[in-house]
Structure 1
């Protein structure tokens, strides 16, 4: 298989069998925002707004560089935002406004 064929047939998360560092398996308590992210995924799926398959494709569409830089739940959040933007359910301006509101609340 040529390098081009390989790139077309594999996605950024498709790293099985490739050389990598040892995986450190560490159980840890999720941060509150991570728990909320997981709950958001469940709500979006329950209400048929974003399916598990859409979320997976959304994460993979971030590309290898972004996937490598973001944590597990950060990938989910970015994918959710992108999908909601694409569906016209949320705009970047609305998200920015809400993020500013949350930041102001936390500063109080």
Structure 2
């Protein structure tokens, strides 16, 4: 079970039902991905394409060339790119909640 799945299970077990970003919601935003390893380096970059056309990057690098594994580099770079989406989606959700909250409703009525 991944860390995301463990946290999700804890959230469900505790009955926390307020609006939130979930791992599934996050993954649904990803429409494609590209990778690049810079020649002569161990630097791998992952570019995630999101459904709205925005892109997010993640990187990985290996300190020792002898330990460089391209597949592992892609996995780490993708994980790092995906982590950035949490903040973006969290901000969007908070903005929607703020806009539809009691204060914004009162201002709209005045």
TM over 0.5: no
Q: Which has the larger helix fraction?
A: 1
Larger Rg: 2
